[in-house]
Amino acid sequence: MTKRQIITRVSKATGITYADAELVIEGFLTELTNQWRAGVTVAIRGFGTFSWKMFKAKKGRDISRGTAVHIPARKKPVFKPSKKLNL
């Protein structure tokens, strides 16, 4: 399902115009993205939680050269669905 399809369905389900539904969904996604990038955990009750998981630095191997390489510590975005979404 694309964003356009979601906007269309929300517009029909709520009775608001497509343009208004688009503004609401774009605003929601923008705010969600801004908060998530700022490192804030975003929890939407009944849907799920958007957060970050930290991975420690570690040693890996370059298979083609057979040498050891350093993999730096990093953050990875994570979505954990609510129990209500687990079917």
pLDDT tens sequence across 5-37? 999 999 999 999 999 999 999 999 999 989 988
What is the rounded CA–CA span in Å between residue 35 and residue 44? 13
The predicted-structure confidence for 31-81, as pLDDT tens digits, reads as follows 998 998 888 899 999 999 999 999 999 999 988 998 999 999 998 889 999
pLDDT score of 86 more than 80: no
Q: Where are the beta strands (DSSP E) in 11-47?
A: 42-44
22: phi then psi, degrees, rounded to nearest 5: -65, -45
The pLDDT score that the predictor gives to residue 36 is 82
pTM of the model: 0.68
Among 74, 72, 73, 34, smallest CA distance to 50 is for: 34
pLDDT score of 87 more than 70: no
Helix (H, G, I), strand (E, B) or coil at 39: coil
